[in-house]
Amino acid sequence: MAVNKKQEFSAEDVALADLAKALSHPARVAILRTLAEKQMCICGEIVEVLPLAQATVSQHLKELKNAGLITGEIEGVRSCYCINWENLEAMMARLEAFTTALRALKPVEQCC
């Protein structure tokens, strides 16, 4: 039986890993790009721009929503989505701080 050891890591590391997971599929990246390009909430159009079935797109939207990167509302038979800019910017700042900290630890000579 697998044991979840997430609680053994810092909250910052867990948050970064969750962000990486949310962005870990090209469809999710494409969804975010599409939402940003449209500059508004969009409904059925997301399925039209991706080479995926409606059910698959819905799963990717669910992952992005669970990560807090998008918001969505169901209006009758339609679902409308838009980027949660506040959360996205906070997550990007967290990622930038992480990469800056890694750069500061970069050795003078490469080991490999």
Instruction: Tell me the C-alpha distance between 89 and 4, whole Å.
Output: 29
CATH number for position 83: 1.10.10.10
pLDDT at 46: 83
What pLDDT does residue 42 have? Answer: 77
CA atoms within 13 A on the CB side of 68: 12
Mean pLDDT by 10 residues, the chain (112 residues): 74 90 94 89 80 90 93 76 94 93 86 74
What range defines the domain where residue 22 resides? 11-96
Is residue 75 a part of any domain in this protein? yes
The structure tokens listed for 74 are 């169901």
pLDDT of residue 76: 66
Residue 2 lies in a domain: no
Q: The whole model's pTM is what?
A: 0.82
Residue 111 lies in a domain: no
Q: Residue 43 domain-assigned?
A: yes
**Structural domain total, the chain:** 1
